[in-house]
Amino acid sequence: MRLFRRQAISVALAFSTALGLTPVFAVMLELQPDNPANAPSAAPYASIAVNNELQDVVTLLKQGERKEAKLQLARFLARHPQDPRATEVAGLIFMEEKNWKMAIVSFRRVLSVNPAQTSARSKLGVSLLMDGQRQEGAAELQRVVSINKADGMARRYLGWLAETQGDTKAALGHYTEAIGDPRFGAGMMSEFHVLTAKLFNQTQQYDKTIKLLAPLIGKADSSRTGRGGELVLASAYLEQGDKAAAARLIRSLEKTLPSVNPDLRLAQAALFKLEKDYPKARERLQAIIKENPAYSRLASLQLSEVYVLEGNRKQAIGVLESLVSKTEKKDLSPLLARLTAFQFDRGSPADAIKTLKEHSVQNPSVKYLLAEAQARNHQYALALRTVNELLAESPQFAGAHYLAAMLYIHENKPSEAEAGFLQAVKLIPAFVDAWVELGDLYISANALPKAESTLQKALEANPDNPTLLFKLASILDQSGKTAQANSAYRRIVEKMPNHAPALQKLALNLSTDSSTLSEAQKLAERAYALAQNEPSIQDTYGWVLVQSGDLKKGTPLLEAAVKAAQHHREHLSSHDESDDHSHESNNLAEGNAYYHLGVAYMKGGKYAEGAAYLNRALHSGVDSGTRTQIASLLK
């Protein structure tokens, strides 16, 4: 039974946060909504209109001379006890000292004199947030942005609040509005550019990160912002597989950051991993774990992935087990998710169940993982009981609705499955796997128009998401809407030039028309350069070459694709197909591979071999148009 496709298990574990795919490299950012210590500093956004005498106080504050600033302010207040500007400066000092209650008193005093003073109101909103009065603080900040849409402080904290609540769309809205704040300078990279780009990366919109940040490299409002921008932009390039662009940024960071900087080491490790230099990647990550405790969790997760890429899953599991033993219960869920995922990959769901039962199954996320492990261990009824118990306790758990829906598909209860997927995407609109499975559910019911409209809705919530775009294009292909499908494939390739499946599908579609055969060959060559061992890409490239008259080069590729298709079928026959529904789409691919090879043999004069493969294609599953062509060839 297929439980997950592409998304990280952490997406399904989220109550209200869409975390997206696990990145190759991520700047450390762990938002904890109940911990004010993780909130951003207010200092960069704190502006106060003051006279010359108070300006000295503000300058001292910015220089970190808080003690001297307080003395000068006290002298000023002794002469002007009712001056609201001095009271606002006092409130700012209280904010720096994290004396939120006194800060609140100060800003309310300012606002009692001048209710329209938005700079004081934004500081009041932040102080209320940090004092645990989240609803009141958010309300004050919303009042500020209703008057001044680009207020930097209000937008920064409203964005932070939205992030902690999992509302990426709202956070992006706040940060992009703040980019328009004239105090940050036109044509300059501000922290808001970096924050916006981080969220683009988090939602797989790497092309938007590149478009936003690349023109601003070297034009940051501070060295700190510049380094942050380079790190986030490097992450986007790494995700897109652009080693050269990422390497240029990392070389630049090596000149400005100490060699032991953990963010730099993470970037270097990610580049080494992309270059398949796994020993060097391990060296960087192990150094972080040893020397930077605050980063050890993130580095350990990345290290486990490196071990997996090296084929050493045992070592990967060992790293995670060690990390689990040192982690507090409240932080265990993501680690257990990764650990059990590796155990699943090793075909050991029973081991995963044992691991999970060693920890509190009262934790909703752990209970979710237990239900998944039970399902993977073919204990479907028990898994469904576990997940329904979880939903009774935590009805807002989107991942549990998703898992229940997958189990209902196994039980052949499509109505219940549909309800589960719909609830999952309602709770987390960025839950890509749930959208894809819902589309597949409609496809299996031969409801292609409904599948198409579902993917259109998914893309409204997740614009330009490549997984959703690719699924929509596949549905359009199945519906005979080839031109629209090609348009979707082109959108993917424009944003992700190295998206091999989109290149392959577009090439295959264009190969049917002699006027676009040349473009088809170029696209197929690009796909083959990216994934030359992928059977569907071998098949498409070989077929395009045969169509172009290059039998010598094309036929061996088609033979390799057929061999791989046969191996896949034999593999499925020796495994429980209920664990993997991918064979449902591979039958058609196998039929096409036989058809293409049959045509190639006939063009090369091998009529008997060609006819044999054409007949095999008819029995393996091909569409009606291909059947007609085969019938014509076999006459």
**Mean pLDDT in order along the chain per 10 residues (635 residues):** 45 34 32 46 50 71 77 80 80 86 92 87 93 92 90 90 84 89 73 93 88 94 92 93 94 94 95 95 95 90 91 88 79 78 80 79 80 90 94 92 96 96 94 95 96 96 91 94 96 91 96 94 95 92 95 95 76 48 47 92 93 90 86 87
Q: How far is CA 119 from the centre of its chain?
A: 35
| pLDDT at residue number 59 | 76
**Residue whose token pair is 């090609």:** 486
Task: Give CA–CA dist 548/422, Å, rounded.
Answer: 46
Question: Architecture of 499-633 per CATH?
Answer: Alpha Horseshoe (1.25)
User: Which sequence spans correspond to the domains of the chain?
Assistant: 499-633
Closest to 239 measured CA to CA, from 499, 422, 4, 426: 499
In terms of pTM, does the model score above 0.75? no
The token pair at 300 is: 């350990």
The token pair at 454 is: 């579902």
Task: Give CA–CA dist 413/406, Å, rounded.
Answer: 10
| pLDDT at residue number 10 | 39
**Residue whose token pair is 């893309």:** 459
* DSSP string across 438-491: HHHHHHHTT-HHHHHHHHHHHHHHSTT-HHHHHHHHHHHHHTT-HHHHHHHHHH
**Residue whose token pair is 């940051």:** 220
Q: Is 97 helix (H, G, I), strand (E, B) or coil?
A: coil
Number of neighbours of residue 539 by Cβ within 10 angstroms: 28
| pLDDT at residue number 34 | 42
Which residues 6+ apart lie within 8 Å of 479 measured at CB? 448, 449, 452
Task: Give CA–CA dist 334/345, Å, rounded.
Answer: 17
Number of neighbours of residue 72 by Cβ within 10 angstroms: 17
Q: Which residue(s) pair with 189 in the sheet?
A: 220
Contact 428, 166 (CB under 8 A): yes
H-helix or E-strand spanning residue 200 = helix 191-202
Task: Give CA–CA dist 519/493, Å, rounded.
Answer: 13
| pLDDT at residue number 74 | 81
Closest to 545 measured CA to CA, from 573, 523, 578: 523
Q: Is 189 helix (H, G, I), strand (E, B) or coil?
A: strand
Task: Give CA–CA dist 32/144, Å, rounded.
Answer: 24
Task: List b or e across 335-369, with b for residues whose CB sees 16 or more CB atoms inside 10 angstroms.
Answer: bbbbbbbbbbeeebbebbbebbeebebebbbbbbb
Which residues 6+ apart lie within 8 Å of 332 measured at CB? 324, 359, 363, 366
**Residue whose token pair is 């909703």:** 364
Contact 158, 174 (CB under 8 A): yes
